[in-house]
Amino acid sequence: MNKSFYHTGEYGDLVAALPVVRALGGGDMVLGMQQPPFNCHNQNVTGITQERFNVIAPLLRVQSYITNVEFGFRPVDYDISDFRKCDCGYNATTTAWQATYLNIPNVDTSPWLTVPTVKSHDKILVSKNCKYNNPQFPWSHIVDRYKNQILFLGLAQEHEELEHLTHSKIEFSLTSNLLEAAQLIAGASLGFYSASVLAWIAVGLGCPTIVSQRYDIHTAIVVHDNVNNVNTAGKAHQLRAALISGDKII
């Protein structure tokens, strides 16, 4: 019988949990609303609605270690919903936090996502949201350096805000689900992302990734040789200098 996993978290938390799911042999993913009593650290987060399920389910279904993806609630082998109650230490990754919650040591974080039909292109991807950003992150310098290569992924409002911030017209790709976004990410040579599900997808695919992350965030994204987590003012200044000089970014 397949193992089963329950998750009610944000998209990024869910993608970050997948190396843990893989380490436990994979199985069925059950996504849904929080079940009482509500122990989540953020009482405004009520879980995964049907609409949110439809956005992430296509990406989960194409992973070889996921046997089934369901919306709702049923008894499962591993309920990861309350992982933030676990004390994992400052600056632990969200993956490590969830692994610690399930008492799984040393989880393999080599690329854990695959997608079919990669959409190859010559675009440099950017995605900036309103949460978790390093205030010194050089978005304008990124747009100045790559100009017409830039392709924005995310929400229409976020796209408009980045155009306003950089005083530039930026191409925008509207995707209907996270599998479509992942196919674009997999086909890119480089991406600049806020700390968000798109950054987690890029890291999960093993893509060259630069992440804008706020200084005071308790958890960090998984970092590999081709991932730069820009979570300090010093790192932001280094990135800005490389963008201006034309040096290698990552």
- The superfamily (CATH) of domain 124-245 is Glycogen Phosphorylase B; (3.40.50.2000)
Whole-angstrom distance, CA of residue 153 vs CA of residue 127:
5
Report helix, strand or coil for 173. strand
Please give the distance of CA 201 from its chain centroid, rounded to a whole number: 5
The pLDDT tens digits for 187-232 are 999 999 999 999 999 999 999 999 998 876 656 788 788 899 998 8
The pLDDT of residue 177? 97
pLDDT of 170: 96
Q: Cα angle at 166 between 164 and 171, to 5 degrees?
A: 80
Q: What are phi and psi of 106, to 5 degrees?
A: 50, 60
Please list the alpha-helical segments (H only) found in 102-232.
139-146, 156-166, 178-186, 197-205
d(CA 11, CA 178) in angstroms, rounded, equals: 9
User: Of the candidates 232, 180, 241, which has an alpha carbon nearest to the alpha carbon of residue 56?
Assistant: 180
Nearest to 190 by CA among 241, 142, 141: 142
Looking at residue 40, its pLDDT comes to 44
Domain boundaries, the chain: 3-101, 124-245
Scanning the chain, the segments in alpha helix (DSSP H) are 11-23, 50-61, 94-101, 139-146, 156-166, 178-186, 197-205, 233-245
Cα gap 198→20, rounded to integer Å:
19
Q: Cis omega (within 30 of 0) on the bond before 37?
A: yes
Helix (H, G, I), strand (E, B) or coil at 191: strand
Question: Taking the CB of residue 135, how many other CB atoms lie within 10 A of it?
Answer: 9
The C-alpha atoms of residue 186 and residue 113 are separated, in whole angstroms, by 10
Q: What are phi and psi of 199, to 5 degrees?
A: -65, -45
- Report how far Cα 134 is from the mean position of its chain's Cα atoms: 16
pLDDT at position 217 is 67
Tens-place pLDDT, residues 50-67: 999 999 999 999 999 999
> CB of 214 within 8 A of CB of 195?
yes
Instruction: Enumerate residue ranges in the chain where pLDDT < 50.
Output: 37-44
